[in-house]
Amino acid sequence: MNNSKTAWFKTFYNQIRSLLTLSRGGKERFTEKLFLSISLLPVLLIVLLVVALWLRTQPILETQSIWSLLLGQTWHPIKSQFGFLPFIAGTMWVTIVAMVFAVPVCLLSAIYLSEYARASMRMIMKPLLDLLAAIPSVVYGVWGMLAIVPWVQNTFAPFMNKCFSYIPFFAVNNPTGFGIMAGGLVLAVMVAPFIIAITYEVLQAVPTGLRQASLAVGATQWETIKYIVMRQSLPGVIAGVVLGASRALGETMAVLMVVGNVAHMPTSIFDAAYPLPALIANNYGEMLTIPLYDAALMGAALILLLVVLVFNILSTLILRRIVRRSRR
């Protein structure tokens, strides 16, 4: 052990020495390798994360099958019952509600910015929208607790209860206002800048000549957007939405503050929920003496990581294809 340590140190020392005494060409090769290894670190980190999470999930997978974990509805750590389904469902509900609110607004904003707005308007709007992305998540959480939760509790939920309570998803069984609706609304605002920015870029990648080809036969601007621009950019828009959804899936702080955090299967958009990130953030580091609790939380993290990774890889592939096509 000690021997190999000194050996490693010797190699390192020699590397440094040779760097100092190297010719310019040698230094050039050394710096290139150095930068390469530094930039490989993050890539390596992702692989390590997945492997480490996988290994630390193993203890629980030895006692129960992956399906009983994924589909189990009971979360009772002391009785060694670790059903993830309520948390997976909570994550999905919050994300879907967020996307339902965010996508139409973001699409229309991006279309306005790309197709209708004058350059001067764009100069003002774009930085402001980008600024939304820079607001710390906890600030959104506070805003959610102070503004959105009371609004859901006092205005929106009573209204929906009065008018639409016969529709299953809209029933109000939770009088607090903390729940999926509040979480979804806060998330919608948080992911909006990303979806708008990506959609805007995708729309800008549509060649001007294509728009003009449509206008030249007497189409209106809206017809051109509807039939040509949107059709051409649909894959990219979907990629942008998926990327936004993956941010929503993983968002922790703001959601955790407003979503209620009750481990049950939600049945209505006004129910409280307990998304995966909130589960991990609230519980990791506490009660870890409970057997398998640690492994269960690692499993939750693994699921989250894998879903977000898949979403990101898919949308990156689509977006890359679009950029390549628009350069042609």
Partner 1 sequence: MDSHVQTIDLNAFYGNTAALKNVNLEFPKRQITVIMGPSGCGKTTLLKTINRFLELTDGTRISGKVLIDGENIYAPNVDVTEIRKKAGLLAQRPYPLPMSIYDNVAYGLRIHNMKRGHDLDNAVEHHLREAGLWDEVKDRLRSPATGLSIGQQQRLCLARGLAVEPEMLLGDEPTSALDPISAQRIEQRLLDLKNEYTIVLVTHILRQAKRLADYVVFMYLGEVVECGPAQQVFENPQQERTRAYLEGQF
User: Per CB under 8 A, which region of 31-39, 141-149, 159-167, 213-221 contacts partner 1?
Assistant: 213-221
Quick one: 56 or 122, whose CB is closer to partner 1? 122
CA 31/CA 36 separation, integer angstroms: 8
Among 17, 33, 231, 321, binds partner 1 (CB under 8 A): 231
Tokens for 13? 């020392």
Q: Between 20 and 119, whose beta carbon lies closer to partner 1?
A: 119
Which one, 13 or 227, has the nearer CB to partner 1?
A: 227
Distances (CA, A) of 210 to 111, 127, 207: 16, 28, 5
Minimum separation from the CB atom of position 242 to partner 1 (A): 21
The answer to whether residues 177 and 291 touch, using CB atoms and an 8 Å cutoff, is no
Q: Is 327 in the site for partner 1 (CB under 8 A)?
A: no
Assess 302 for contact with partner 1 (CB under 8 A).
Answer: no
Count of residues in contact with partner 1, rule CB under 8 A: 19
CA distances from 34 to 15, 39, 41, 43, 283 (A): 11, 9, 11, 15, 39
Instruction: For tokens 């890359």, name the residue.
Output: 320
Q: In angstroms, give the least distance from the CB of 111 to partner 1.
A: 16
Q: Tell me if residue 291 falls in helix, strand or coil.
A: coil
Task: Pick the stretch among 185-193, 212-220, 260-268, 277-285 that binds partner 1 (CB under 8 A).
Answer: 212-220
**What track of x and - describes contact with partner 1 for positions 166 through 205 (by CB under 8 A)?**
----------------------------------------
The residue among 208, 211, 150 whose CA lies nearest residue 176 is: 150
Q: Kindly indicate which of the ranges 30-38, 226-234, 244-252, 285-293 contains the residues binding partner 1, using the contact rule CB under 8 A.
A: 226-234
In degrees, to the nearest 5, what angle opens at C-alpha 225 toward C-alphas 219 and 231? Answer: 115
